[in-house]
């Protein structure tokens, strides 16, 4: 029933494919209009109002490797790298 369509992005002017699967999704949700922006421009527009997440660098309390965390580490609690944290959660 649906066929892929090539549309032009209204922001960057590049052609993008509105796939049959995406068209089916739009129809199921009751959306009347086709997308006007490509995936890259949609994502950029969606994230434009969000502040950039600041990452803090610290040392893993278990293995000693450098770890980047989304919070300001304090000295009263240990901080682990993602690998050590995942291993501890599995135990």
- For residue 16, the enclosing domain spans 5-47
- DSSP-assigned letters across all residues of 15-83: EEEE-HHHHHHHHHHT--SPP-S-HHHHHHHHHTTSPPPP-EEEE-TTT--EEEESS---TTS----HH
Closest CA to 38 of 80, 10, 70, 74: 10
Q: 11 and 37: one domain?
A: yes
Summarize pLDDT for 60-88 with one digit per residue, the tens. 999 999 999 989 998 889 999 999 999 98
Question: Both tokens of residue 40?
Answer: 């890259």
Q: 69 and 43: one domain?
A: no
Summarize pLDDT for 20-59 with one digit per residue, the tens. 999 999 999 999 999 999 999 999 999 888 888 889 999 9
Cβ-contact 73, 66 below 8 angstroms: no
Q: Which residues are within 8 A (CB) of 66 and not within 5 positions of it... i.e. 6 or more apart?
A: 57, 58, 59, 60, 81
This prediction's pTM: 0.54
Q: 16 and 42: one domain?
A: yes
Q: Considering its fold, how many domains does the chain have in total?
A: 2
């Amino acid at each position: 029933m649906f066929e892929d369509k090539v549309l032009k992005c209204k922001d960057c002017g590049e052609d993008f494919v509105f796939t049959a699967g995406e068209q089916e999704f739009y129809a199921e949700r009751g959306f009347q209009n086709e997308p006007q922006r490509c995936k890259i421009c949609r994502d950029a527009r969606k994230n434009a109002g969000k502040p950039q997440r600041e990452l803090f660098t610290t040392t893993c309390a278990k293995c000693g490797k450098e770890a980047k965390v989304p919070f300001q580490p304090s000295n009263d609690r240990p901080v682990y790298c993602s690998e050590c944290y995942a291993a501890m959660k599995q135990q």
